[in-house]
């Protein structure tokens, strides 16, 4: 048996075993020692910039060009490739390693092909629902560790496009609709990841907020809207997370492709925000040589159509100054030194599935949002229940994962295909429920026939219906409605059993026309390798839910700024898929993204941003607010220990012309039953500012600012007015 096959079997056994307590894994695979290179640039007491300059002084023109592009469309099979989606050939004589890149938004992709296991984490939207920067750090750190274990030194993850479009097929890879929450969370994700000596990125820069027509759509919006919405998330991410890379997106922005958009790449990212790292194109997102290079693109992926011989010619004939090529190379090499991939290269090791599963479960438990709990239906009392009907969504065997380049391979499967069928992971809700209610008769119905499911539900004391919405890169959900007639299924079960609990595995918000007829609902997103255990721990009360929604759940598509996804009517419905002409995506809602739209337009959402229930209750009192910060008391008024995410919103002076409120601060407070705590939170003046287009800078307007404090964007019992 080969080493890899052995590791795989160990890992699979571990992943599939219910109890992951102790298992001695095989020894790390010995790796060839990296070639020892002598040279002034290897002096670790010099700064990354000094080292990069010394290394560049040794390079030929061809070597420089080699660093600014990938090795070709089938990078995974290129010589020396580690099997990832991209590779940049290094310069061995200078000790500069190959860049081995793996997609890794929710775990390391394409591990199965290498005979490896990688941990599936809950989707990033679930991570955002924890509102917990420490968990975001742990999430990134785990991915960084597993990348290194699998011999990668570059991660492609860090998606932070704002959920403007709740039907976007990639919302599960992003961090919700608020730029401050998303930016702060991804920043910690990057810090955790890069703490493992792996280069991380944020993507897709910028405004790739829908998959429909993503490589032909031209997003149109003004500078103020740009800076205060999606770009604020990127700004926070770049400044606080300090990623080594930024990946530019497929779409156009105001007429220029994002990967050759001088405003985005050069003016803003590099000059205004001071980003010292490098910009790589999304896969196939480069459209030109000189224009892209001069606009600030530093690396073409995965090919060398524009940044290979064509760039060499452009440098030779002066169209692209050599100084710009040196700058591109400098940014790449200084990042390699700064993040330790030269001095501490990865060594292959067996991935630790136990450690990974534990972290994955903790994040799923902290990121699952309790949406409804009528008459204290939950938590269930496992020892007192006689019978439970478990229905739908393959709940007998597994939990759902997200598709596309973020897809992680399920243990025991072959590598999943891009655009293939949804992938279910071996974490069985049915088994997890059985283990919490050992004396109950727990039976399963697949939900294909609503009448049969309803019959099972009628005979049971409690019905738990699992519903799912598979989503993937490359296509949006056509509507907010659940697919596969699951609304019909839930309605039939709810009519048969008044104690019906719905568990949702969705990539983002969905409509719930049946919500008034079920007694409880729990959103678990795509919950990761221990998702079933996490869900059962919440349903049966071992874990008190604390997550809050990082996105608004609308009642229906017609309540959205764009009732239909922009451009969807233009897309060919069936083959032949001829190339479509470019089209405009006009962000007519401007600043009113997510809850800001619903607040400004006075539309009642199904569940508001920042909302989520607990098994205990919290009360707020005693707000003291100034322009610099707020102090208030939060008390646990129920019978159980719990954690409350406390949220602070601000309403700007009327002349600002802003939506009614915006999130400006939050914290997560642990409170024993009956306990109260005083919370003090600083207010960052940036988050109280508007972006002044004329001055081209952030500005704090004089006037009265309303401060709202509470447990959701629509439930803020404490208010105050402060003046500036």
Is residue 234 within the footprint of ligand BGC (CB under 6 A)? no
Nearer to ligand BGC, 207 or 283 (CB): 283
Closest approach, Cβ 247 to ligand BGC, in A, equals 7
Considering only residues 533 through 592, tell me which ones interact with ligand BGC, judged by CB under 6 A: none
DSSP string over 144-169: HHHHHHTT--EEE--B----SSTT-T
Per-residue tokens: 161? 């496009």
Residue with tokens 């109950």, as numbered in its chain: 440
Those residues whose C-beta lies under 8 Å from the C-beta of residue 237, and which sit 6 or more positions away, are: 158, 160, 183, 186, 187, 190, 202, 243
In 395-513, which ranges are continuous DSSP H helix?
Answer: 429-436, 450-459, 486-496
Closest approach, Cβ 103 to ligand BGC, in A, equals 5
Per-residue tokens: 611? 């909302």
Considering only residues 385 through 414, tell me which ones interact with ligand BGC, judged by CB under 6 A: 405
DSSP string over 641-709: -EEEEEEEEEE--GGG---S-EEEEEEEEEE-TT-EEEEEEE--GGGG-EEETTTTEEEPPSSEEEEEE
Q: Classify each residue of 201-236 as buried b or exposed e, where b means 16 or more C-beta atoms within 10 Å of its C-beta.
A: bbbbbbbbbbbbbbbbbbbbbebbbbbbbbbbbbbb
* Position among 128, 136, 156, 464 found at the interface with ligand BGC (CB under 6 A): 156
Nearer to ligand BGC, 103 or 256 (CB): 103
Nearer to ligand BGC, 405 or 676 (CB): 405
CA distances from 246 to 211, 277, 713 (A): 19, 8, 31
What is the total count of residues that contact ligand BGC (CB under 6 A)? Answer: 8
- List, in sequence order, every residue forming a beta bridge with 631; answer none if it has no partner: 624, 680
Rounded Cα–Cα distance for residues 120 and 416 (Å): 14
Closest approach, Cβ 104 to ligand BGC, in A, equals 9
* Position among 235, 282, 365, 523 found at the interface with ligand BGC (CB under 6 A): 282
Closest approach, Cβ 691 to ligand BGC, in A, equals 27
Closest approach, Cβ 208 to ligand BGC, in A, equals 8
Is residue 103 within the footprint of ligand BGC (CB under 6 A)? yes
Is residue 292 within the footprint of ligand BGC (CB under 6 A)? no
CA distances from 465 to 24, 500, 501, 524, 553 (A): 38, 7, 6, 13, 19
Is residue 283 within the footprint of ligand BGC (CB under 6 A)? yes
Nearer to ligand BGC, 103 or 336 (CB): 103
Residue with tokens 């860090």, as numbered in its chain: 158
CB 234 within 8 Å of CB 277: no
Closest approach, Cβ 282 to ligand BGC, in A, equals 5
Is residue 299 within the footprint of ligand BGC (CB under 6 A)? no
Closest approach, Cβ 264 to ligand BGC, in A, equals 16
Considering only residues 195 through 214, tell me which ones interact with ligand BGC, judged by CB under 6 A: 203-204
CB 412 within 8 Å of CB 426: yes
Closest approach, Cβ 49 to ligand BGC, in A, equals 27
3-state DSSP call for residue 454? helix
User: What are the backbone dihedrals phi and psi of residue 351, each rounded to the nearest 5 degrees, phi first?
Assistant: -65, 140
Closest approach, Cβ 214 to ligand BGC, in A, equals 8
Considering only residues 9 through 48, tell me which ones interact with ligand BGC, judged by CB under 6 A: none
Rounded Cα–Cα distance for residues 126 and 99 (Å): 30
Nearer to ligand BGC, 304 or 595 (CB): 304
Nearer to ligand BGC, 332 or 489 (CB): 332
Residue with tokens 């060919």, as numbered in its chain: 572
Closest approach, Cβ 653 to ligand BGC, in A, equals 40
Is-cis flag, bond preceding 302, omega within 30?
yes
Nearer to ligand BGC, 176 or 398 (CB): 176
Closest CA to 496 of 461, 466, 467, 457: 457
CA distances from 44 to 26, 53, 152 (A): 33, 14, 22
Site string for ligand BGC, 502-541 (x = CB under 6 A): ----------------------------------------
Q: Max CA-CA distance within the chain?
A: 81
CB 191 within 8 Å of CB 139: no
Give the H or E element holding residue 596.
helix 595-600
Nearer to ligand BGC, 405 or 469 (CB): 405
Closest approach, Cβ 474 to ligand BGC, in A, equals 8
Residues taking part in catalysis: 282
* Position among 12, 20, 85, 111 found at the interface with ligand BGC (CB under 6 A): 85
Rounded Cα–Cα distance for residues 519 and 371 (Å): 10
Those residues whose C-beta lies under 8 Å from the C-beta of residue 96, and which sit 6 or more positions away, are: 55, 67, 90, 333, 336, 342
Per-residue tokens: 580? 């479509």
Nearer to ligand BGC, 63 or 476 (CB): 476
Nearer to ligand BGC, 204 or 661 (CB): 204
Nearer to ligand BGC, 156 or 539 (CB): 156
Binding positions for ligand BGC, rule: CB under 6 A? 85, 103, 156, 203-204, 282-283, 405
């Amino acid at each position: 048996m080969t080493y890899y096959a052995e590791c795989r079997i160990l890992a699979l056994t571990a992943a599939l075993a219910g109890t992951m307590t102790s298992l001695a894994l095989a020894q790390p695979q010995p790796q060839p020692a990296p070639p020892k290179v002598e040279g002034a640039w290897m002096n670790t007491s010099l700064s990354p910039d000094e080292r990069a300059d010394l290394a560049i002084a040794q390079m030929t023109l061809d070597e420089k060009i080699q660093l600014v592009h990938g090795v070709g469309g089938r990078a995974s099979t290129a010589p020396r490739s580690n099997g990832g989606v991209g590779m940049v050939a290094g310069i061995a004589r200078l000790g500069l390693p190959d860049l081995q890149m793996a997609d890794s938004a929710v775990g390391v992709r394409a591990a199965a092909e290498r005979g490896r296991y990688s941990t599936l984490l809950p989707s990033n939207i679930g991570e955002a629902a924890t509102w917990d920067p420490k968990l975001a750090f742990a999430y990134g750190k785990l991915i960084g560790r597993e990348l290194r274990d699998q011999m990668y030194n570059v991660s492609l993850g860090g998606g932070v496009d704002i959920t403007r479009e709740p039907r976007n097929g990639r919302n599960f890879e992003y961090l919700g609709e608020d730029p401050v929450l998303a930016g702060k969370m991804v920043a910690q994700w990057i810090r955790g990841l890069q703490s493992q000596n792996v280069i991380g990125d944020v993507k897709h820069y910028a405004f790739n907020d829908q998959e429909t027509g993503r490589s032909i759509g031209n997003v149109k919006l003004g500078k103020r809207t740009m800076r205060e919405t999606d770009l604020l998330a990127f700004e926070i991410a770049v400044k606080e997370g300090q990623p080594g890379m930024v990946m530019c997106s497929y779409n156009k922005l105001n007429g220029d492709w994002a990967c050759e958009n001088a405003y985005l790449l050069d003016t803003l990212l590099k000059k205004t925000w001071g980003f010292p790292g490098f910009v790589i194109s999304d896969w196939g997102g480069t459209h030109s040589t000189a224009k892209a290079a001069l606009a600030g693109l530093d690396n073409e992926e995965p090919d060398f159509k524009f940044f290979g011989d064509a760039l060499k010619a452009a440098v030779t004939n002066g169209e692209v100054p050599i100084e710009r090529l040196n700058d591109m190379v400098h940014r790449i090499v200084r990042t390699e030194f700064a993040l330790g991939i030269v001095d501490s290269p990865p060594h292959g090791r067996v991935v630790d599935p136990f450690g990974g599963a534990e972290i994955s479960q903790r994040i799923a438990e902290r990121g699952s949002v309790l949406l409804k709990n009528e008459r204290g239906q939950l938590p269930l009392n496992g020892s007192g229940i006689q019978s439970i009907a478990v229905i739908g969504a393959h709940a007998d065997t597994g939990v759902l994962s997200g598709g596309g380049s973020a897809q992680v391979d399920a243990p025991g499967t072959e590598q999943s295909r891009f655009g293939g069928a949804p992938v279910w992971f071996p974490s069985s809700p049915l088994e997890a429920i059985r283990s919490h209610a050992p004396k109950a008769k727990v039976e399963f119905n697949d939900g294909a026939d609503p009448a049969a499911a309803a019959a099972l539900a009628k005979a049971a004391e409690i019905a738990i219906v699992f519903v799912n919405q598979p989503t993937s890169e490359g296509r949006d959900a056509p509507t907010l409605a659940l697919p596969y007639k699951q609304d019909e299924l839930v309605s039939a079960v709810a009519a048969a059993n008044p104690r019906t609990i719905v568990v949702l595995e969705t990539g983002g918000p969905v409509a719930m026309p049946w919500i008034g007829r079920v007694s409880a609902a729990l959103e678990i997103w795509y919950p990761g390798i221990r998702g079933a255990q996490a869900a059962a721990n919440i349903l049966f009360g071992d874990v008190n839910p604390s997550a809050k929604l990082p996105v608004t759940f609308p009642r229906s598509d017609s309540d959205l700024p764009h009732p239909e996804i922009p451009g969807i009517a233009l897309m060919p419905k069936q083959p032949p898929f001829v190339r479509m002409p470019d089209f405009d995506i006009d962000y007519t809602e401007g600043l009113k993204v997510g809850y800001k739209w619903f607040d400004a337009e006075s539309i009642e959402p199904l569940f508001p941003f920042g909302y989520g229930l607990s098994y205990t209750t919290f009360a707020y009192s005693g707000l003291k607010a100034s322009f610099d910060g707020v102090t208030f008391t939060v008390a646990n008024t129920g019978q159980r220990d719990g954690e409350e995410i406390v949220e602070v919103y601000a309403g700007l002076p009327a002349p600002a012309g802003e939506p009614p409120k915006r999130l400006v601060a939050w914290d997560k407070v642990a409170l024993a039953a009956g306990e109260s705590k005083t919370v003090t939170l600083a207010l960052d003046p940036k988050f109280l500012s508007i972006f002044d287009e004329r001055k081209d800078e952030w500005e704090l307007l004089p006037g009265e600012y309303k401060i709202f404090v509470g447990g959701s964007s629509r439930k803020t019992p404490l208010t105050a007015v402060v003046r500036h």
